[in-house]
Structure formats: structure tokens, C-alpha cells
């Protein structure tokens, strides 16, 4: 009796598991892995800090005070203060807003544009594909950082313009990966079947190809945050993205270099903030990749 | 083989044309030009002075005319002269690329010497503590910004060690010791990031290869593990590893702007950075041309190296 009931239970839960949406399954796997859960928590904390910065930060990020170059832990400045007496912890909290803004916008635009170009190029094939791919080649043959500089020098240095420049490069790189995935999906019999029953090209592309290239797109999304934040840091470091007095981590680090020998915390903490943030996104990205594409374990 | 190489070069030509037009066109959209940048320092000027200088520098012509002039020059081995310094662009590139090439080679040596052993250990001892440490080392390398590492390294050297190397470029044949001092730290930092990318690729390629039948066969016929791993597995895992190292070459030779700035090394990256800022079109064009040629060559070399690693691959 008892065993029969158990058999029924297993069958039922198996059925429930089978009926779960694949996205739910993948999310459960990601959250259950220690690395995925850990990095996810760090990212959630980061988002919370970024959103609540105006309410929880101990000081005003732009407020100049007489407490110049205060060492960490002194006079309420947990992470010290900078050359004009601004609180480092507060500025790092506000910096999280810029980094996340850059990350989300770049990845969003870069993925969307990349997916559109990649889908179109791969699906159209022929000379359209040839022309698009030569342009992609051309853009990839120039170092990304110099290209971003050239774009920023035209549209002017600011956080949003930095995002535009980075997103354009990310879109180009992503489009190549997505095109590759489209080319392999296109060869499947179900695409031929869809075509043979008279589905329009747009329908084939959106209904049959797109769902099958979602995994590589999600992998690009999860790997994109880290590199977007790194490039924004690099551009700000060179004075080409976020402008003072706004608190971008790259900019803070670059300014901190000037007084590195006497007050190393000015450079140390913003640098650590970038490192920890990018590391969390990269670790989460690895877990997402392992779950979505077990073949690619640990590669990049 | 010869025909294959020629075909590849011909196929690459359109991309070369596109990138040079694209960047040159992009820079023409910048507000102001080199004349304004140069004259901004020299006080009061009449419109005639400005026009005169534009004419001298050939900037009064339309963009297509300027581009045609440039292309004609390229075919004659002439990349023009800098609008800012008046120096020959080809000569400047030759001098600057010496720095970049040395830094790239040293970084690649650092990367290969750490990444390949790490990747192999990681794959062979998958999911052991060694694997976890190697992977943590790699993913940290991908996450820590190079400008942060460079800043902290200089801090540790100057404050804790109390010694700073002689920065600035000295040719190796003049003073090898000063040259090494200037290059070893940037090479370590760039090499670390490159090794992170390479080690991850080595690990995943090795994992894939170690599952193959021929590896099982090699083990079954009683070969020592060392030979199985290095001769049978590694050789087959090298193709993706070489591809990823090759894909980093344009970055290594033209994209190391920050490292060159921080360590005061006058390489191609800073040349491009400075030229973009003062709108020195011929120099920017020269840098674009240089990196695009390198991109094409390195892709070709990577593909050709496949045939050496895997004799089944032939090009005709």
C-alpha cells in the first residue's frame, strides 16, 4: 500500500518536472549551484545598493568638506575620503549606479542589435550575408578600445555616449556569434518543413529559428556585463566616458593614481569594486553557460 | 598553398577598404580639425591664416579626394606625414611598433607558459582542488581591470619595495637591462589577462579531447599517461587554443592604450589614442591600416598553423 502510494508520488512529481518550462528548470539549476547562488547574491546586493544609494549612503557624493585624504575608518568615512573631502564609500555606492546602468544598457542594446544583425545576416545568406560579414570583419580588425575612442571623440565624452560606443562594438561581436548559430539551425529539417508548408520568411525566422538560438544569446548576455563594465572603466580611466564630478569607478581609480603613494585607498577601493562586480558577473556567466550549453564547460 | 594565401589576401581587401573608409569618415565627423587644435595655442589668427594652413595640409579637399590621395600613397609605400608633428607616418609606425611587438611577444610568452600547463592540469584533474584554484586564477584574470593591477603594482613597488624600474622605452640593443625593466611588469599584467583567456580555452579543449576514443585507445595500448596527454591529447586540443591566442593579436599590438600610458611605453596604442584626440588623420589612418593588416595576417597565420598541427588539414 505504502509503496504503491510512493510510486504514484514519483510519477506525479516526474510529470510535474517534465511539464516545467525549460527556463524554470535552467533557473533552478543556476540557483542551486553554489557559485551561481553566491555570485547572484553579490549582484543582487549590488543592485540594491545602486537603487538605494541616495537613501543609505552616509554622505552626499559631491559634497566637498574639510576632511581631505581621511584614512579609512576615521571620522565616519569607512573607506576614507578623497582630495577634496568627498566620502569614498558614498561615491562607490553611486558608482554602482553608473556601472550597472552601463552594464544593462550595453548588454541590452548590444544583444538586441547583435541579434537582429546576426539573425538577418545568417538567415538572408547570399550577397547580403557576404557584405554584412565583410563590414563585421572590418570593425573587428580595429582594436575595440581605439574604435570606442574614435566614436566618443565624435559624439563627445559622457557616460551615455560611452555606452553607445561600447554597445556598438558588443553588437558587432555578438552578431557574429548569433549568425553562426543561425547558420547551423537553418540546416535542420524542421526549417525545411516550415518552409514547405508555406511559412513566410519572417515567420520562419521569428518562430522557428529565434527560439533555437536563445541559448547562445543568453550566454552572450551573461558574459557581456563583465566586459561592458570593464570597458566603461577603461574609457572613464582615460577621461572618455563618465565626466567629473560624477562618480564612476574607473574615473575614481584614475584620479586616485595621482595620490597613490600617500593615500592608496583612493585607488584601491574603486578598483576592488570593479574587480568584485566583474568577477561576480563572470562567475554567474560561467554557470549560465554550463547549464545552457554543457558542451562548452569552462571555455570562453 | 601559395594560391590559397593569395586568395585569402584578395578576399581580405574589401574589409581593409571598409575599415579605412569607416574610421577616416568617422573622424571627419568630429567637430573641428587639426588646424584648430594646432592654432588654438598660437593666439590671434585671421581666417586667412587658417585657410592657408588647411591648404598646406591638404585639408581643403573633399573627403573622397583625400581618401583617393591616401590610397594612391599607400600603393607607393607612402602613408603620408603627421599633420601634428610633420613626421613620416610609416617611420613613426615602424618606431612605435617596435615597442608594441616586444610587449606583445613578451606577454604571449608569459601567457603561454602559464596557461597551457594550468589548462592541462585543470582538465586532467577535473573538479579537484587544483582545477578549482586554476579556474579561480583564470576567472580573476578576466575580471580584474589591467589599469587597477598596474596601479597597485606600481604602488607595491614604490612604497613597499622602495624601488621603481626605469620607465620609458630604451631599445634592447642599447641597454638590455633598462629595456627589461621597462617591459617586464607590463608584460606580466597583459600576460596574466591573456593567460586567463588561454587557460580556459586549453581546459575546455582538453576536456573535450580527453573523452575521445583515440585517447582511450592510447591508454588501452599501455602508453604512459605523460605521452597520452602531451602527444595524443594536447596536440589535438591546440587548434582552438591557437585560434584564441591569434584573435588577441590586434588587441595586443594596438589596443594596449592604458598599459602603455601607465608604464610610459610609446607603442601603437598610445599613438592611435593621441592621434584621435588631435584629429591627426594620416596617423590614425596609419594605425588603422597597421592593425587591419595585422588582423588579416594573424588570421591567415592561425589558419595555416592548423595544417602544421593537424596534417589532415590541407589548403589548396
Structure confidence by residue, pLDDT tens digits, A147-173: 998 898 888 889 999 999 999 999 999
Residue of B139, B148, B258 with shortest CB distance to A283: B139
The SS3 of residue A150 is: helix
Half-sphere exposure for B211 (CA within 13 Å, toward CB): 8
| Contact assignment for B273 to A233 by CB distance below 8 Å | no
Quote the cell numbers at residue B259.
598599459
Q: How far is B209 from A125, CA to CA, in rounded Å?
A: 32
| Contact assignment for B30 to A153 by CB distance below 8 Å | yes
What is the band of A72 on the pLDDT scale with cuts at 50, 70, 90? confident
How close A153 comes to chain B (CA, Å)?
Answer: 7
The closest of B134, B129, B100, B132 to B114, measured between CA atoms, is B134
Q: How far is A56 from A151, CA to CA, in rounded Å?
A: 36
Q: How far is A86 from A68, CA to CA, in rounded Å?
A: 8
- Chain B neighbors of A226, CB-CB under 8 A: 142-143
Q: Which of A34, A42, A133, A143 is the best mutation test for B, with the most CBs of B within 10 A?
A: A143
How close A15 comes to chain B (CA, Å)?
Answer: 32
Strands (E), B153-194: none
Tens digit of pLDDT for each residue in A84-128?
778 889 999 999 999 999 999 999 999 999 999 999 999 888 899
Residue of A140, A274, A298 with shortest CB distance to B204: A298
- Chain A neighbors of B273, CB-CB under 8 A: 146, 149, 238
Query: Using an 8 Å Cβ cutoff, are A247 and A94 in contact?
Result: yes
Provide CB contacts within 8 A for B53, sequence distance 6+: B35, B38, B39
How close A147 comes to chain B (CA, Å)?
Answer: 8
| Contact assignment for A138 to B15 by CB distance below 8 Å | yes
- Chain B neighbors of A298, CB-CB under 8 A: 122, 135, 200, 203-204, 207
pLDDT at A5: 47
Tens digit of pLDDT for each residue in A237-285?
888 888 888 889 999 998 888 888 888 888 999 999 999 999 999 999 8
- pTM of the full predicted structure? 0.87
Tens digit of pLDDT for each residue in A15-61?
555 667 777 888 888 888 888 889 999 999 999 999 998 888 888 88
Nearest CA in chain A to B159: A261
| Contact assignment for A137 to B15 by CB distance below 8 Å | yes
How close B53 comes to chain A (CA, Å)?
Answer: 23
How close B132 comes to chain A (CA, Å)?
Answer: 11
- Chain B neighbors of A234, CB-CB under 8 A: 145, 147, 257-258
**Residues facing A87 on adjacent strands:** A81
Angle at B88 between CA B84 and CA B92, to 5 degrees: 90
Q: How far is B183 from B107, CA to CA, in rounded Å?
A: 9
Per the model's pLDDT, the better-predicted residue between A64 and B209 turns out to be B209
pLDDT at B44: 67
pLDDT at A3: 47
Residue whose entry in the numeric block shows the C-alpha cell 578576399: B11
| Contact assignment for A237 to B258 by CB distance below 8 Å | yes
| Contact assignment for B15 to A141 by CB distance below 8 Å | yes
Q: Which of B8, B141, B151 is the best mutation test for A, with the most CBs of A within 10 A?
A: B151
| Contact assignment for B142 to A238 by CB distance below 8 Å | no
Q: Tell me the average pLDDT across A1-13.
A: 50
Interface ipTM > 0.90 = no
Query: Using an 8 Å Cβ cutoff, are B147 and B262 in contact?
Result: yes
Q: Tell me the average pLDDT across A213-233.
A: 87
| Contact assignment for A145 to B257 by CB distance below 8 Å | yes
Number of A–B residue contacts, CB under 8 Å: 161
| Contact assignment for B201 to A299 by CB distance below 8 Å | yes
Q: How far is A85 from A196, CA to CA, in rounded Å?
A: 71
Q: How far is B192 from B195, CA to CA, in rounded Å?
A: 5
| Contact assignment for A143 to B277 by CB distance below 8 Å | no
pLDDT at A196: 92
| Contact assignment for B201 to A138 by CB distance below 8 Å | no
Q: How far is B119 from B117, CA to CA, in rounded Å?
A: 5
pLDDT at B43: 63
Q: For chain B, which ranges sit under pLDDT 50? A: none
Helix (H) or strand (E) holding B117: helix B89-124
Half-sphere exposure for B280 (CA within 13 Å, toward CB): 24
Query: Using an 8 Å Cβ cutoff, are B51 and B40 in contact?
Result: no
Does the structure show a pLDDT above 70 at A7?
no
The closest of A246, A226, A221 to A236, measured between CA atoms, is A246
How close A24 comes to chain B (CA, Å)?
Answer: 26
Amino acid at each position: 500500500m505504502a509503496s504503491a502510494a510512493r510510486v504514484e508520488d514519483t510519477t506525479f512529481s516526474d510529470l510535474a518536472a517534465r511539464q516545467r518550462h525549460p527556463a524554470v528548470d535552467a533557473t533552478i539549476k543556476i540557483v542551486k549551484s553554489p557559485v551561481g547562488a553566491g555570485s547572484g547574491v553579490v549582484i543582487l546586493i549590488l543592485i540594491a545598493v545602486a537603487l538605494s544609494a541616495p537613501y543609505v549612503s552616509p554622505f552626499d557624493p559631491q559634497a566637498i568638506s574639510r576632511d581631505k585624504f581621511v584614512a579609512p575608518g576615521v571620522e565616519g568615512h569607512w573607506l576614507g575620503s578623497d582630495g577634496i573631502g568627498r566620502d569614498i564609500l558614498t561615491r562607490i555606492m553611486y558608482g554602482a549606479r553608473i556601472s550597472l546602468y552601463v552594464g544593462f544598457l550595453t548588454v541590452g542594446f548590444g544583444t538586441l542589435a547583435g541579434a537582429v544583425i546576426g539573425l538577418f545576416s545568417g538567415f538572408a545568406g547570399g550577397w547580403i550575408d557576404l557584405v554584412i560579414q565583410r563590414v563585421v570583419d572590418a570593425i573587428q580588425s580595429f582594436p575595440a578600445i581605439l574604435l570606442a575612442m574614435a566614436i566618443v571623440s565624435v559624439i563627445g565624452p559622457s557616460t551615455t555616449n560611452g555606452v553607445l560606443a561600447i554597445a556598438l562594438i558588443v553588437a558587432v561581436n555578438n552578431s557574429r556569434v548569433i549568425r553562426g548559430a543561425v547558420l547551423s539551425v537553418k540546416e535542420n529539417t524542421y526549417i525545411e518543413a516550415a518552409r514547405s508548408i508555406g511559412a513566410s520568411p519572417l515567420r520562419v525566422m521569428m518562430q522557428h529559428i529565434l527560439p533555437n538560438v536563445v541559448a547562445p544569446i543568453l550566454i552572450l548576455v551573461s558574459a557581456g556585463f563583465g566586459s561592458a563594465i570593464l570597458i566603461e572603466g577603461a574609457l572613464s580611466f582615460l577621461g572618455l566616458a563618465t565626466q567629473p564630478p560624477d562618480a564612476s569607478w574607473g574615473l575614481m581609480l584614475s584620479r586616485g593614481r595621482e595620490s597613490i603613494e600617500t593615500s592608496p585607498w583612493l585607488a584601491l577601493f574603486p578598483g576592488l569594486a570593479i574587480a568584485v562586480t566583474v568577477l561576480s558577473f563572470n562567475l554567474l556567466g560561467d554557470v549560465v553557460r554550463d547549464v545552457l550549453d554543457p558542451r562548452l564547460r569552462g571555455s570562453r | 598553398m601559395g594560391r590559397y594565401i593569395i586568395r585569402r589576401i584578395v578576399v581580405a581587401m574589401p574589409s581593409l577598404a571598409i575599415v579605412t573608409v569607416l574610421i577616416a569618415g568617422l573622424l571627419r565627423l568630429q567637430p573641428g580639425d587639426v588646424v584648430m587644435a594646432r592654432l588654438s595655442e598660437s593666439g590671434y589668427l585671421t581666417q586667412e591664416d587658417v585657410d592657408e594652413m588647411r591648404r598646406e595640409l591638404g585639408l581643403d579637399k573633399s573627403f573622397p579626394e583625400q581618401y583617393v590621395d591616401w590610397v594612391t600613397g599607400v600603393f607607393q609605400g607612402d602613408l603620408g606625414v603627421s599633420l601634428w608633428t610633420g613626421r613620416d607616418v610609416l617611420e613613426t609606425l615602424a618606431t612605435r611598433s617596435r615597442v608594441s611587438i616586444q610587449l606583445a611577444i613578451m606577454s604571449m610568452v608569459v601567457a603561454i607558459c602559464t596557461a597551457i600547463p594550468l589548462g592541462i592540469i585543470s582538465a586532467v584533474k577535473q573538479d579537484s582542488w587544483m582545477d578549482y584554484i586554476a579556474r579561480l586564477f583564470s576567472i580573476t584574470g578576466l575580471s580584474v581591470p589591467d589599469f587597477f593591477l598596474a596601479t597597485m603594482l606600481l604602488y607595491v613597488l614604490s612604497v613597499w619595495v622602495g624601488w621603481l624600474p626605469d620607465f620609458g622605452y630604451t631599445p634592447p640593443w642599447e641597454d638590455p637591462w633598462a629595456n627589461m625593466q621597462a617591459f617586464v611588469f607590463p608584460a606580466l599584467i597583459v600576460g596574466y589577462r591573456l593567460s586567463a583567456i588561454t587557460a580556459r580555452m586549453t581546459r575546455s579543449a582538453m576536456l573535450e579531447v580527453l573523452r575521445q576514443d583515440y585517447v582511450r585507445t592510447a591508454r588501452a595500448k599501455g602508453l604512459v599517461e605523460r605521452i597520452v596527454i602531451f602527444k595524443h591529447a594536447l596536440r589535438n586540443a591546440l587548434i582552438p587554443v591557437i585560434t584564441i591566442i591569434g584573435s588577441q593579436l590586434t588587441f595586443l599590438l594596438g589596443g594596449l592604450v592604458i598599459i602603455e600610458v601607465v608604464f610610459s611605453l610609446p607603442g601603437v596604442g598610445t599613438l592611435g589614442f593621441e592621434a584621435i584626440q588631435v584629429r591627426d588623420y594620416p596617423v590614425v589612418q596609419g594605425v588603422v591600416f597597421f592593425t587591419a593588416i595585422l588582423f588579416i595576417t594573424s588570421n591567415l597565420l592561425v589558419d595555416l598553423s592548423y595544417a602544421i598541427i593537424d596534417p589532415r588539414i590541407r589548403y589548396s
